[in-house]
Structure formats: C-alpha cells, structure tokens
Amino acid sequence: MKRQPLIVANWKMHKQLKEALEFVRELRRLGADQLRDRTVVLCAPATALLALSEVLKDSAIRLGAQNAHWEQAGAFTGEISPTQLLDVGCSYVILGHSERREHFAETDDRVRQKLRAALCAGLHPIVCVGERGEEREAQRTHRVLERQIGVGLGDLAPTELGKMAVAYEPVWAIGTGVTARPDQAQQAQQFIRSCVAKAYGPEAAQALRILYGGSVQPDHMDSLLAQPDVDGALVGGASLSAQDFWRIISFHSQLTPTHGSV
C-alpha cells in the first residue's frame, strides 16, 4: 500500500501573527497549493490559528496545533481542547512532542489520554516518540520506542491508525543540526511499524503514516523519503522560512515554483 506523504511544519513558539500570514502568502506564491500528491500541514502557535484558517480556507495547506488538552471542556485555566482547535479550523494536532515531555512533564499515559480526546473530536493527531541520546548509546532505543508506542497509543481501534500519524523524533537530533542517517530513521521506523503491527494487525500498521523529525533540511528529503517506512517529515527550524519549507515540501516534485499571484 502506498501511503501519501505528510509533511508538517512545527513552528514551536515562533512567529508573530503578521509573520505567520506573510509565510503563508509566500508559500502559496511558490506553488504549495499545486502539490496534490502529498499533504502539507502548518502547526502554528495558538495565537495565529484563527487568522491562518481564514486565509487557508481555499487552500490545500492544512492547519494544525502543537498541543491539546485531554478533555473537551472544563476548568483547565490556560488550556485548549481538541474541540476548540477544530472550531478554529485545525485538522491536525501534534501530541507528546519531546519538548512537552521534557518541560511540561508529559507522560505516555497523558499522551494516550490526549490522543483519545483528539481522535474523538475528529482531529488527526501526530504522536511524537523518540529516544534520548544516552538511551541510544545504551542500546535502549527499541525499549523506549516500544514503551512510548505501547502506552502512548493505548487501545485504539485498528481503523483509527489510518487517521493519525506517528513522528519518530530522536531527541538527540532535535534542534542540534545532527540529522539521523536515512538508514537509522528507517531502522527505527520499521521497528515502530512492527510494534504497531503486533498490537493492531498488519493492515492497520500499513495504513499508519510514520514521519521523521529532527534537524530536517531541504537536502535530506529525497534520501529520507526513499526509505520504505519514512512517510513524511516533521520539521522545526527549517519550517520557519517559506523558501526552505517550500524546498522541503516540493521534494521529488516535477513542479517548479509558480510566480503567479495567489
């Protein structure tokens, strides 16, 4: 089964509203709406979501958030629920990013609760997993991934795997300029798919899109996406420039930038 590539920008806590809108204008000018054989998602800060959803109404570019709560409503000061994200035009949400695990003490249990809530609301969750550098050195990568997938995905219905994605983001590769080699990404992502197959069956595992994230640059895309278990990318730093992100999303593409007005 051929899975459609999914390329996701994670802007983290960057961009004022004006910059976010300028980015979208530029990305569309370069031709992002013409890329019909792949899905492109911008995961923006919450402050920019509503305005971005207005300008993306007639666009192929999808909108996502970087986190969501595990309840749809309630007394949770400062939090945002999956239903509220849907309400302002999001269709995707990143869950369990390593920065949330590290700075906000998110556990695999919490990720599972958030995943359930996001799916219930009708969002497409992107669940992040990945080992730390010292865990890789101690040859514990598989053990860590097995736990993050086992506990973090919990008891999904097999059909739900097709509505979500997993992002393999080795912590040692995030924001360091050290990208995992394509064979390292493939090895880990093949392992992730095998864990999913064990729990939910081979058909569900084949439907799941597994992205690679960690210091992705435009030049890495062809070799990463050539790996059989790499179905896309989750991009931090290089997604902040519309030019760089365009080069990332137009990998393998025959399209050249269009310069018409959008």
Residues marked as catalytic: 97, 169
Q: How far apart are CA 242 and CA 20, in angstroms?
A: 10
Alpha-carbon separation of residue 64 from 70, 177, 197 (angstroms)? 16, 25, 27
The conformational region for residue 180 under phi > 0 = left, psi -120 to 50 = alpha, else beta, is beta
Q: Which one of residues 96, 214, 218, 232 is an interface residue with ligand 13P (CB under 6 A)?
A: 214
Tell me: does residue 96 bind ligand 13P (CB under 6 A).
Answer: no
Q: Which one of residues 24, 236, 242, 245 is an interface residue with ligand 13P (CB under 6 A)?
A: 236
Query: To which H or E segment does residue 261 belong?
Result: none
Both structure tokens of 34: 């013409």
Q: How far apart are CA 146 and CA 262, in angstroms?
A: 45
Shortest Cβ distance from residue 39 to ligand 13P (Å)?
Answer: 16
Q: Which stretch binds ligand 13P (CB under 6 A): 34-42, 79-87, 214-222, 250-258?
A: 214-222
Shortest Cβ distance from residue 238 to ligand 13P (Å)?
Answer: 6
Residue with Cβ nearer ligand 13P (12 or 112) = 12
Shortest Cβ distance from residue 215 to ligand 13P (Å)?
Answer: 4
Contact 214, 169 (CB under 8 A): yes
Q: What is the largest CA-CA distance in the chain?
A: 53
Residue with Cβ nearer ligand 13P (117 or 238) = 238
Both structure tokens of 211: 């992205």
Contact 94, 63 (CB under 8 A): no
Contact letters for ligand 13P, residues 135-174 (x by CB under 6 A): ----------------------------------x----x
Q: Which one of residues 53, 148, 189, 215 is an interface residue with ligand 13P (CB under 6 A)?
A: 215
Burial class (CB in 10 A: 0-12, 13-18, 19+), 123: buried
Q: Which one of residues 42, 192, 235, 242 is an interface residue with ligand 13P (CB under 6 A)?
A: 235
**Which positions lie near ligand 13P, rule CB under 6 A?**
10, 97, 169, 174-175, 213-216, 234-238
